[in-house]
Amino acid sequence: MSTNDRRVMVHIRNVDKYFGHLRALTDVSLDIYDGEKVVVIGPSGSGKSTLLRSINQLETIDAGTIIVDGFNLTDPATDINKVREEIGMVFQLFNVFPHKTVLENINLAQMLVRKRSREEATAISMELLNKVGIAEKIHQYPTKLSGGQQQRVAIARALAMKPKLMLFDEPTSALDPEMIGEVLDVMKTLAREGMTMIVVTHEMGFAREVADRVIFMDYGAIVEEGTPEHFFTNPTQERTQTFLKQIL
């Protein structure tokens, strides 16, 4: 890849992470460039979610360096809230706020964190709800929505912060099959618009179509990375081949 002229959005160097005695990440190094779409795949327990969650410090790392958009997360002087404003995150279980309506879900952080007025926030929320295709649900509570709709609310909520980077942690794994498509479509639109995205997923079709680069992790380490073409037609590592055989 011709990456030397592009800006590094996420710089990860020699990262280790332990859960008790379990080594969840082993000497992980990775650079993700502005506008790049990276899909991380691997068996469960391979450390892919932990890596993703380390990027906005939902997990704190035990060794190594992570620099996001110029902010060094391992530097105690870094205001993590400031960094997180620039990083949108979408979770497997949506984590929409059940006590707030769809509109309030999306307005809340805009008003509290970005200090937008209610009118400004609502205008942005409406625009995003149109984009994710649930504008007619704004005054509903999330519990009345399907899983796919809730996940689209969660995506809109993250986008409302106007992040520079979006993290997706298995966004379709908790969804019924018929709802996966509607969420992936929103993500594809986002990718076309040039958003920098890191996606942990088991959706190989999505990886093939959208990813600039696919990363395969196993036992807390990056085993292999490459373009989707390289990855799906001609993987070099044996573990990658085994994994792909199992899931494809």
For another protein, the binding residue among 1, 22, 63, 113 (CB under 8 A) is 113
Region from 5-13, 88-96, 132-140, 207-215 binding another protein, contact rule CB under 8 A: 88-96
Least distance between another protein and beta carbon 117 (Å): 17
Rule CB under 8 A: say whether 143 interacts with another protein: yes
Distances (CA, A) of 75 to 68, 72, 182: 12, 5, 39
State the number of binding residues for another protein (CB under 8 A): 30
Contacts of residue 130, Cβ cutoff 8 Å, sequence gap at least 6? none
Q: Specify the residue for token string 């280790």.
A: 16
Rule CB under 8 A: say whether 179 interacts with another protein: no
Per-residue binder mask for another protein (CB under 8 A), 92-111, x = binder: -xxxxxxx--------xx--
CB 192 within 8 A of CB 160: no
Site for another protein in 200-239 (CB under 8 A): none
Contacts of residue 154, Cβ cutoff 8 Å, sequence gap at least 6? 90, 91, 94, 95, 96
For another protein, the binding residue among 27, 34, 85, 225 (CB under 8 A) is 85
| Residue in 202, 172, 166 with CA at minimum distance from that of residue 184 | 172
Q: Where do contacts with another protein occur on this chain (CB under 8 A)? A: 56, 58, 81-82, 84-85, 87-89, 91, 93-99, 108-109, 112-114, 143, 147, 150, 154, 157-158, 161, 174
